[in-house]
Structure 1
């Protein structure tokens, strides 16, 4: 787990804490997996780790995830000889992979009419963010950490890159290029304006022309982060380093992911869809639209930045020998996005209202 993201480490830590709470004084090799599963069914947690939210029972998917982590934990303990000789993995006997998921949270997927209704309710700060999410399939964290230097407005491409020097990395670590159509380019031009560096999307307080406390490109921001950490003794651990990196992003004007989620929920409620609570719905909708348009699965995987399952992915050796040309990727993505022309036309109307020339 040492090389996993901090978020993944936190999830593993939470899962093992459930096991610690259940075990008490029971030795590790005497744990009852069945008893632990029953314990989890009665466990109440705060959704998403937010302390102020009402607690609820763990969902089926959460229970399965915790059991899978515990199974991996015991497998590692056996390999590292942390358990008595011949101790079996108590979680190996559970049919974890066959557990039914009956109470999973429903996923909200937009169609053309729902997308248009949502965007029409979005305020001037939220509209560009949600429009770009809808038309690119970016993860919210990728959008909030997108730098101006990673946007090629002339060619119409976004470069999604890891930024370990700024304390941020892509969820799957897979860097990629995402094509953007003319309407998205026009929105990005309006958002960026005359700026030449820094995050593409800024907090609402900067809409009135206020300048960020910290300005500069990626290299300059990395120098600032280094200056904030090199004087610390002893050197900060990775989690503390990421916390300091967030202060650099904050001072550069970057948006918090949580702020995007709150804005999404507010806009969805105004559009009459309070059940839509996660901006990841745009990513689900983009993937669904690409499927409806019969876009090649490999192009979908490349564009959305999904990590292949297995050494060569679901396509086997075909994926190894196939090299998608950028022109092919752009053509296929644009063909799919233009199946929903109403929101594209509305983006041009929105630009006119802002006093900008549409594309």
Structure 2
């Protein structure tokens, strides 16, 4: 009678055994009532180390190295958003962008996948599906829909990649499951249909200002001559402006639930014409937002003339009042909603209103290619470059973090030890802005006109 060949001898570390099978080492153990058999290593030493680690985890009733909890993508998405709201914590604007981006992947699971488990995903199939979807560019339901541009597509895929990084950290994915979005080489994805960027020249800028009304002009003039983002401008308080010395201070206001996009506070020099424009805008007001809504009456609004400390106290009281009626602490989203109400009652302008005023005025000036107030920031940075302003001064003024390459500037450690004085920054910015004298002359004329 022919004898059956004896299998390779198993070796054991406590409750875990490991053995050689077809040239690789496998682990076997029971995780509760569930048997686990996995290929883990190519050498016996590696298998023994992994077996010891898993045995220690079983002995302490901890999740093992290879344990995971299967979740649906809907559950994973909600956990990811909750993490950014309550743990990270990310800004409400960032959370809204993440929610919009991940909604595409949830729609894909609902429409195209037989299983709703998060790890049942084919990233290449999702990309092909996503390229065919039509969306509203600004999120408004009445806007004409179009397919995602390459830049928007890449952002969605980058967020999805982050979701699966989070899933791996939380053990929501099977062992050895590779992030499907990491294989797409997103950093090398071509951006071929990006929206063209409009950069003003002196003539276009003057034509725009001449077509602007008295409410629109100062907003866009300050954007043009400071390089501020729209969100920074509308959250600028009177106490952030030093008209005597000609400086504008962009500051985080976390107690009022507003932060700079990059979190980098900075001071921006104001030329004489910008100071004159701001003096007319502020008038006799002593506190509140520098720029207020059209036809908003700060004197007859309870929050219309309050400084930052008073606004913070008002928000604190509203949060405390809302909190007292609930057994749970208010979420960041709810606090953000209350903060927006405080800003609104203080007279703050909606960023959408800045955008629509820009589009309307640009159209009236015959500048049909310009459709976004970010053009002012691009134009400001370009003008500084045309004037050969030092890159460090440009980055400080725009609020960008200097990269190591730019910081060294080819000077090695000399560049690291170089610091920009405020007087130098102010002198260089003014020198650059004087390159376009006609828009400045128009600003002087506007500022000297008696307000009707």
Q: Smaller-chain TM-score range?
A: over 0.9
**2:126 equivalent to 1:36:** yes
Report the alpha carbon displacement of residue 98 of structure 1 after superposing the two structures with TM: 1.4
**2:445 equivalent to 1:354:** no
* Residue 259 (structure 1) aligned to one of 353, 365, 374: 353
Contact 1:213 1:253 in 2 (8 A): no
Report the alpha carbon displacement of residue 315 of structure 1 after superposing the two structures with TM: 2.6
Distance in 1 between residues matched to 2:291 and 2:405, nearest whole Å: 33
**2:302 equivalent to 1:213:** yes
**2:101 equivalent to 1:9:** no
**2:161 equivalent to 1:75:** no
**2:376 equivalent to 1:282:** yes
Aligned partner of 1:138 in structure 2 is 228
Distance in 1 between residues matched to 2:414 and 2:283, nearest whole Å: 43
Aligned partner of 1:315 in structure 2 is 407
Contact 1:145 1:199 in 2 (8 A): yes
Equivalent residue runs for 1:334-353 within 5 Å: 334-353=430-449
Aligned partner of 1:333 in structure 2 is 429
Q: Which has the higher contact order (CA 8 A, sep 6+)?
A: 1
**2:222 equivalent to 1:128:** no
Report the alpha carbon displacement of residue 68 of structure 1 after superposing the two structures with TM: 1.5
Unaligned runs of 5+ in 2: 1-83
What does the per-residue CA deviation read over 1:268-297, in whole Å, with 9 as the maximum and x for residues that have no partner?
Answer: 110012332211110111011111111111
User: Which 10-residue stretch deviates more, 148-157 or 72-81?
Assistant: 72-81
Q: Does the C-alpha gap of structure 1 residues 177 and 170 become closer, same or farther in structure 2, counting only changes over 3 Å?
A: same
State the TM-score, normalized to the length of structure 1: 0.93
What does the per-residue CA deviation read over 1:38-92, in whole Å, with 9 as the maximum and x for residues that have no partner?
Answer: 0110111111211221111111111111111212222232233221001111112
Report the alpha carbon displacement of residue 180 of structure 1 after superposing the two structures with TM: 0.4
Report the alpha carbon displacement of residue 319 of structure 1 after superposing the two structures with TM: 6.1
State the TM-score, normalized to the length of structure 2: 0.75
Distance in 1 between residues matched to 2:90 and 2:194, nearest whole Å: 25
* Residue 273 (structure 2) aligned to one of 171, 183, 191: 183
Q: Does the C-alpha gap of structure 1 residues 202 and 318 become closer, same or farther in structure 2, counting only changes over 3 Å?
A: farther
**2:188 equivalent to 1:98:** yes
Contact 1:109 1:281 in 2 (8 A): yes
Q: Does the C-alpha gap of structure 1 residues 273 and 187 become closer, same or farther in structure 2, counting only changes over 3 Å?
A: same
Distance in 1 between residues matched to 2:406 and 2:126, nearest whole Å: 34
Distance in 1 between residues matched to 2:171 and 2:338, nearest whole Å: 37
Contact 1:313 1:319 in 2 (8 A): no
Aligned partner of 1:228 in structure 2 is 318
* Residue 253 (structure 2) aligned to one of 163, 187, 205: 163
Aligned partner of 1:299 in structure 2 is 393
User: Larger C-alpha radius of gyration, 1 or 2?
Assistant: 2
* Residue 18 (structure 1) aligned to one of 95, 100, 104: 104
Distance in 1 between residues matched to 2:414 and 2:210, nearest whole Å: 42
Secondary structure of the residue aligned to 1:159 is: strand
Unaligned runs of 5+ in 1: none
Q: What CA RMSD, in Å, does the superposition of the two structures yield over aligned residues?
A: 1.8
Q: Does the C-alpha gap of structure 1 residues 167 and 339 become closer, same or farther in structure 2, counting only changes over 3 Å?
A: same
Report the alpha carbon displacement of residue 324 of structure 1 after superposing the two structures with TM: 1.1
Equivalent residue runs for 1:239-254 within 5 Å: 239-254=333-348
Report the alpha carbon displacement of residue 301 of structure 1 after superposing the two structures with TM: 0.8
What does the per-residue CA deviation read over 1:182-224, in whole Å, with 9 as the maximum and x for residues that have no partner?
Answer: 11001111111111111111111047x8643312111011111
Secondary structure of the residue aligned to 1:158 is: strand
Contact 2:392 2:402 in 1 (8 A): no
Q: Does the C-alpha gap of structure 1 residues 313 and 238 become closer, same or farther in structure 2, counting only changes over 3 Å?
A: farther
Contact 2:392 2:406 in 1 (8 A): no
Contact 1:298 1:319 in 2 (8 A): no
Contact 1:162 1:173 in 2 (8 A): yes
Report the alpha carbon displacement of residue 320 of structure 1 after superposing the two structures with TM: 4.5
The structure with the greater share of residues assigned to strand is 2
